[in-house]
Structure 1
Amino acid sequence: MFFRWDWLRPVLTAPVVPTLGPVHPHALTVDLFEDTLRAAVTDRSFLHYDKDRRWSSEKDETVLRGDVVHQPDHTLIPTLTRRGQGTVKVFAYGHRGSVVDEAAELAVKLATAHDAMKARVVRPLGPETGFPRGTRIQLKDFTACPCPAPSGPVRPVTDWPTVVQETFAPFATAMAADGLAFLHARMRAGRCGPVLAAAVEDRIVGAIGPMEVRPDAIGCPQLMPQYFAVLPEARGQGLGRALWRAAMHWGQSHGAAYQLLQTEVGGPSDRLCQAEGLTSLGFTHTTPA
């Protein structure tokens, strides 16, 4: 075993694992970190519980296992992403401020060594962080209370009349920056679960999906992350909330125990999740090295 849990656990201010992203606190074990090292041995392989394996046959990001720094008071775990011109990210776990500087130095060094264009530092921060920036990790617990089906013009895309379904393509194009064009391509290829859509006057103006439940590292069923967008001109009418509640109802109805969401601090989805009472598990703040 490479990692010492008595060293690593005290500095895990947020439940974030390199190459895997946020995980449920109940699943946060030393085995998850060890698994990322084993996966790095078989180049570009997925762990069976990796949420990203539904999108690709090969893993883009792997841990640079030979460059991990593991000390009693801090741990630095570098990863390499081959997508584009390459990115090295160093996950900086530790309470002292200098850990960020150490991570930045390591990221620059490794980016040069691996001909990667970008070097980044990822700093997990606890939920008590004042004036946070970056991404908030939020937990929706489906075992806590019922998630009733919302009222409103939301249903699976395939349940809308054909004339409405045909408006998904221009909607997806307009919201390509939010991943909807990619999602539409997956839908057309029949390679994803249902997508829920909101329509106004026979035109799709919002969507969330795909809706899929898969087991996590300890076998607990989780609702997988979705793409989520509403056209700017359709906002302010409660459609985003209706879509989100419909997704939560779907997840609970299909046996999910929880969902983890990542939202930009202060953004519309962040404010929605906070208003809906989700639990904040912490933050990740990514900066150039």
Structure 2
Amino acid sequence: MFFRWDWLRPQLAAPIVPTLGPVHPAALTVGIFEDTLRAADTGGFLPYDKDRRWGGEKDEKVLREAVVHQSEHTLIPTLTRRGRGTVKVFAYGLRDSVVDEAAELAAKLAAAHDVVNARVVRPLGPETTHPRGTRIQLKDFAAGPCHDPGGPVRPVTDWLATVQNTFAPFAEAMAGDGLAFLHTQMQTGQCGPVLAAAIENRIVGAIGPMEVRPDAIGRPQLMPQYFAVLPEARGQGLGRVLWRAAMHWGQAHGAAYQLLQTEVDGPSDRLCQAEGLTSLGFTHTTAA
């Protein structure tokens, strides 16, 4: 075993794991960190990796030989060749000095692996005052019923063909939110349903794909979705209706929970906070 859990556990201010992203606090074990090291050796997906559903090969991997694991802090670097390449160092530790050490390591590894970007990812606890970056939020489906909100929302394939045909231009307009990628996946027929909101026979918002898969300890998790509403259609409550429809779908299909990452103080963040989700902490990413 590489990691000492009595060292690492006190350093985990937020439940985020390199190459995997947020995990349920109950799944946060030494085993899941050990799994990321084994995956680095094989280059494949872990069975519970949320990105496995897209197929292909795992692009990001832990740089096992460069991990720094000490009693007061742990630095776990990852490498991706996507684009111009990025090294990220996950800086686990309660002292602020861990950021400087992580930045130094990230810059060194970026040069060694001939990639352009060097980043430091700092997990922060839910009690953090004046947080920046990304909030990790938990939707617990056991907390209460998720009612069908009604409204102009249904799976894309349930709309009339004339409405379905408006999804492509909608997806292209919202490419920055991942909808163009989602549309490509939909065309392969290998992803779950996508819920769409339409006004006057035109799709103006969507959330999906809707899929439930087991996590690292076998609990059914509603997978993360792409979620967007056209700027001109905002302010009418469509985002809230879409999100509630997605939560209704997840609960109806047996999900125990969902984890979401939202930009602090952004529209999705404010929506999730208003809907009563539990904040599990934050991640703050900076250039090295």
Letter in 2 for 1:233: E
Q: 1:143 aligns to what SS in structure 2?
A: helix
CA distance in 1, matches of 2:76, 2:173: 37
1:16 maps to which residue? 16
Residue 98 of structure 1, CA deviation: 0.6
1:235 maps to which residue? 234
Letter in 2 for 1:268: P
CA deviation map 1:102-152 (0-9, x unaligned): 000000000000001100000000000000000000000001100010021
Moved >2 Å (runs of 4+): none
1:200 maps to which residue? 199
CA distance in 1, matches of 2:166, 2:39: 42
Q: Does 1:267 align with 2:266?
A: yes
Question: What is the aligned residue count?
Answer: 288
Letter in 1 for 2:270: R
Amino-acid identity (%): 83
Letter in 2 for 1:270: D
CA distance in 2, matches of 1:114, 1:159: 48
- Residue segments in structure 2 that go unaligned for 5+ positions in a row: none
1:34 maps to which residue? 34
2:283 maps to which residue? 284
- Residue segments in structure 1 that go unaligned for 5+ positions in a row: none
CA deviation map 1:162-183 (0-9, x unaligned): 1111111110111011010111
CA deviation map 1:25-78 (0-9, x unaligned): 000000000000111111x21101000111132001000011100000100000
1:66 maps to which residue? 65
Structure 1 residues 1-289: aligned runs within 5 Å: 1-42=1-42, 44-289=43-288
TM-score, normalization by structure 2:
0.99
CA distance in 2, matches of 1:161, 1:186: 20
Q: 1:193 aligns to what SS in structure 2?
A: coil
CA distance in 2, matches of 1:59, 1:258: 25
Letter in 1 for 2:74: T
Letter in 1 for 2:20: L
Residue 189 of structure 1, CA deviation: 1.2
Q: 2:129 aligns to what SS in structure 1?
A: coil
TM-score, normalization by structure 1:
0.99
CA distance in 1, matches of 2:233, 2:4: 51
Residue 82 of structure 1, CA deviation: 1.4
| Structural RMSD (CA) | 0.6
CA distance in 1, matches of 2:108, 2:69: 17
Letter in 1 for 2:160: P
Letter in 1 for 2:182: L
Q: 2:8 aligns to what SS in structure 1?
A: helix
